[in-house]
Amino acid sequence: DDSLLYRDIRTERDANMLQGDLDKLQEWEKRWQMEFHPQKCQVLRITNKRKPINTNYFIHGCKLELQEQAKYLGITLDSKLSWSTHINNSCAKARKALGFIRRHLISCPPKVKQQCYNSYVRPIIEYGGAVWDPHHVGDVRKIESIQRSAARFVTGKYDYNIRSSKILEELEWTPLEERRARSKVMLMKRAMQDMVKIPTDDLALKRNNTRGSTHSYEIPRSRTNTHLYSFFPSTVRLWNKLPSNIREIENVDTFRLKLQSVTLRSSYTDDRQT
């Protein structure tokens, strides 16, 4: 389950090597008495090229079906890495879970409602958020609307003359876009400490670090929005916003604690505007 094989395809030779990798997997399955089902395997071609190298791939002589999107480890990837499909699916699932809670916990005290939101709804719209963190304001608002609806349910304040932002302040709920920003920075910190297998070798410290800007990094150059808003370029921009005394903290737990006191994003505005 959840097996993934990928290769950067720049030439026909690269495509032949990928098919060779598939052939080796078929030798592996025979040796270990496993079996891949071609009907359950898919090809996802991620590219912005107008004329990509179109190659067919085979398992057991069966051509694998080319898809515009595919789910991997619970996250839907598409051919442009836009994340829109994943966000829409997650929001729909979260709304359904919130609706279930509303129907069955209507008479429960606010504390119980809040615990259920934190346990059954919020994880749905936060899973993998460091990867698919959206840069389109419309997607950000779509996600935040779920938490705003949950806040009204928890407090019972359905009077829309009362602003949702006031209710969130009353509950002391951090906006989800801020939680994603902290999650990305935390993941980058763990990668630097070699606690997760995310390579950081390409990150370069700024050459002319001045007082107050120590431990800040050069922002990777981007030629497309897909890369500009991907994990490392966007997270480095967030990282560089941290006060230097926090960036310099080595202990991960202490870093996490200090991170909670920092605001990395304002409402619907952040590093996407820079």
Those residues with Cβ within 8 angstroms of residue 85's Cβ, 6 or more apart along the chain or in another chain: 69, 76, 78
Q: Is 75 exposed, middle or buried (0-12, 13-18, 19+ CB in 10 A)?
A: middle
Count Cβ neighbours within 10 Å for each residue of 31-55 and write b for 16 or more, e otherwise: eeeeebeeeebeeeeeeeeeeeeee
Single-letter residue type at 224: T
Q: Which residues contact 220 (CB under 8 A, 6 or more apart)?
A: 202, 227, 232, 233, 236
pLDDT digits (tens, 9 = 90+) for 19-61: 999 999 999 999 999 888 999 999 999 998 888 899 999 999 9
- Would the pTM count as exceeding 0.95? no
Residues of the chain with pLDDT below 50 are: 269-270, 273-274
CA atoms of 5 and 28, how far apart (whole Å):
14
What pLDDT is attached to residue 266?
A: 77
Helix, strand and coil in the chain, % to nearest 5: 50, 10, 40
pLDDT per residue over 204-233, tens digit each?
A: 888 766 655 568 999 999 999 999 999 999
Q: What is the pLDDT of residue 274?
A: 34
